[in-house]
Amino acid sequence: MTRRDAHVRGSRARGVRVLAATGALAGLLAGCGIRATQVPTDFGPAPSMVPCELSVTDIATQATSSGMPVEVFLLCSGALVRVNRSVEVAEGTEEAQRRVAVAQGLLDALASAPSDVENEAGYSTAVPAGLTVTGPTPGDPEDALRLSTAPDALPKYALAQIVCTFADSAAAGDNGSVVLGSTSAESLRRYECTQETQSAPGEGNPPSEEINGS
């Protein structure tokens, strides 16, 4: 055998080994459900944000340094999830006006777009911008709140967010419910924030019962 023949035969052997290794790799990838490719692919860094979870640092940065710390319910993965916010209430405000001021601050917080960090984690809101709230009219229970849009005219997700946020705040009583109505109608309903409402806010309005209004 000449030196040239030996060189050719060695090159062919190496080529066979490379092809065999490539075939084995393709088989392994196919077994994992991954299509083999001849082009290097860069899919970027692995996701760092777990859906519906915020770090302690992220949570702390959502509330401003001033104002009263509160919690509101945003939407994430089809459920209601608590997040931190702050609302401004002037010192010395009487209790009745304070409740309304807190309620309006909560509405504004609910209608605001989630932060970049929250958005990345999958948080959203269905509460429309521009909603306003007033206190009880003559003849209403003292804990009643009246919205500029009738509660039953709101999207189901939005109403669930508002009911659970109000019921868990200084804007309502301490019994886990809130009395809501419209500024354009006399009727009032007492809504409850249940576990079912929190876990499936889009499947129906929060449980409620009609009460006597003005």
Structure confidence by residue, pLDDT tens digits, 59-86:
444 544 568 999 999 999 999 999 999 9
Tell whether the model's pLDDT for residue 161 goes beyond 90.
yes
Tell whether the model's pLDDT for residue 33 goes beyond 70.
no
How far is it, in rounded angstroms, from Cα 140 to Cα 179?
A: 10
Structure confidence by residue, pLDDT tens digits, 98-138:
999 999 999 999 999 999 999 999 999 999 999 999 999 99
Q: Per the confidence metrics, is the pTM higher than 0.85?
A: no
How far is it, in rounded angstroms, from Cα 93 to Cα 99?
A: 9
CA angle 99, 115, 42 (to 5 degrees): 160
Q: What percent of the chain has pLDDT over 90?
A: 57
The mean pLDDT value for 173-193 works out to: 90
Q: At a CB cut-off of 8 Å and minimum separation 6, what does 38 contact?
A: none
pLDDT of residue 176: 80
Tell whether the model's pLDDT for residue 169 goes beyond 70.
yes
Tell whether the model's pLDDT for residue 29 goes beyond 50.
no
Q: Count of CB atoms within 10 A of residue 42's CB? A: 5
